[in-house]
Amino acid sequence: MQIIDGKATSLVIQQEIKELVEQRIAQGQKRPHLAAIIVGDNPASRAYVGHKIKACERVGFQSTLVECSDNIQESELLAEVEALNQDDAIDGFIVQLPLPDHIDEQKVLEAVTPTKDVDGFHPVNAGRLSLGLPGFQPATPAGIIELLKRYGIETSGKHAVIIGRSAIVGTPMTLLLSRNAQPGNCTVTMCHSRTQNLAEITRSADILVAAIGRAHFVTKDMVKPGAIVIDVGINRIPDPSKKSGARLTGDVDYDAVAEVAGHITPVPGGVGPMTIAMLLRNTLDASASS
């Protein structure tokens, strides 16, 4: 069994991006600039945004954080989005999710201009992905593809099973693994909460991607020996041994599944850091085309 180390791979990619930024600056080009809008004081959201800002510093990007109170009106938030759309100094920006219940998340995401949508969530970018056209890909699926590529994992002709059908992970992951590319050329089965005989399907997977948001949902008996297991889940569970009283774990029962898997991503340290690396890469691309 080989651990797929997303943290180490992400740092390698960030070093590559840093070198490209330094080359561009030396040639008189502008420094890439990533902005983030955060609403409220959700601790997880603040931690995620903090990681992204630190990553910007590592690679030599400028970064801007727009902080909004959790009682901000939808119209006011849309005005903040439009201000970033119109700001030529900003190459790309994200709106950190989740948003408060009184705000329509989809409406806000659709307000981001597609050429600055480095999260890859706008319908234009989603449509371009579905057609196999260039565009910003959602960072988590893109990060998984990059891990498969850098670890030299053969995907052509393999059966990939995706557990989860979200627009952020499950659906784009299905498209990326089925496209005529390397990594790609998989036969893909998408499973979800209504799928019957789930374990029977997952046991046939050469590549299993768990993105369902339920701690330790994937157990050892659900995994084909030698399978590539990609754990997208980030779940907080009680742990009295930790100072905070909780720890992060994935959708996969890691210790048990690691006994049969050929490759596996840990949580933390697997897919999460790759998401940040791909967000930076999207921003670099946005900067080059602006």
Give the C-alpha separation, 105 to 269, whole Å: 28
Which CA distances in Å does 57 have to 10, 108, 125? 14, 27, 27
The answer to whether residues 174 and 162 touch, using CB atoms and an 8 Å cutoff, is yes
Cα angle 140, 177, 266 (rounded to 5 degrees) comes to: 45
Catalytic: which of 52, 116, 158, 224? 52
Measured in whole angstroms, the distance separating CA 255 from the mean position of its chain's CA atoms is 23
Is-catalytic flag, 242? no
Catalytic: which of 5, 14, 91, 96? 96
Q: Single out the residue of 3, 32, 4, 36 nearest to residue 20, CA to CA.
A: 32
**Which residues does 44 contact at the CB level (< 8 Å), separation at least 6?**
236
Is-catalytic flag, 14? no
Which CA distances in Å does 13 have to 10, 134, 153, 274? 5, 20, 18, 9
Q: Single out the residue of 17, 84, 93, 23 nearest to residue 57, CA to CA.
A: 17
Q: What are phi and psi of 14, to 5 degrees?
A: -65, -35
Catalytic: which of 119, 206, 231, 253? 119
| Interior/surface letters 234-273, b for 16+ CB within 10 angstroms, e for the rest | bbeeeeeeeeeeeebbbbbbbeebbebbbbbbbbebbbbb
Residue indicated by tokens 């399907």: 201
Give the C-alpha separation, 49 to 54, whole Å: 9
Is-catalytic flag, 52? yes
State the catalytic residues: 52, 96, 119
